[in-house]
Amino acid sequence: MAFWESIPSGKEYEMKSLLSNTILILLVRIFLGGLFVVAGLDKITDSQAFANSILQYKVVGPTLAMCTATILPSLELLCGISLIIGLYPRGCTLLITIMLVGFTILVASALMRGLDISCGCFTQDPNVSKIGYKKILENCGLIVLSVWLLFVRDQGINLLKSFEKQPDKPIN
């Protein structure tokens, strides 16, 4: 292969440059983090209603549903805030990706079993946000964003990096 064939074309370079843009990375982190903060807050305020939403999926019993309704919203909130401020962004993104994959599998399972239920994502109102293929597509889009964030080398602004001790510079 000749040297000039290994040089990326202008469009390839522009795409790589766009996908590694720190502003875009920060915007995606704020978007995903904000989404999980909003979702977590609603569930935290009424864990019993969220437990009922979990029970509608017919995969776990009441004890596990209540346990999940107690723990999951706090995890969503913590991961969302941490992702926004840049506190362990890669770890939070991994947890968010795992949650999104799990949510998507649950929705697909409920659809295949013919359940006509509310998603339970952002509101516990049973008449709002019914599950469907649109919800699966939305989740797949969010999964693509979160997987992209996982593989981005520079996570952008990172709270922990700002507290690291910088080497002393000699005074001349």
Phi, psi for residue 118 in degrees, rounded to 5: -80, 150
pLDDT in tens, 50-75: 999 999 999 999 999 999 999 999 99
- Give tens-digit pLDDT for 82-123: 999 988 899 999 999 999 999 999 999 999 999 989 888 877
CB atoms within 10 A of CB 58: 12
Query: Is 4 inside any structural domain?
Result: no
Q: Is residue 38 a part of any domain in this protein?
A: yes
10, part of any domain: no
Residue 39, in any domain of the structure = yes
Domain, as residue range, for 53: 15-151
In a domain, 135, yes or no: yes
3 part of a folded domain: no
**Contacts of 42 by beta carbon, 8 Å cutoff, 6+ apart:** 73, 122, 123, 124
Position 7 scores a pLDDT of: 47
Candidates 18, 39, 41; CA nearest to 28 is 18
In the structure, what pLDDT confidence band is assigned to residue 4 with cuts at 50, 70 and 90? very low
Q: How many domains does the chain have?
A: 1
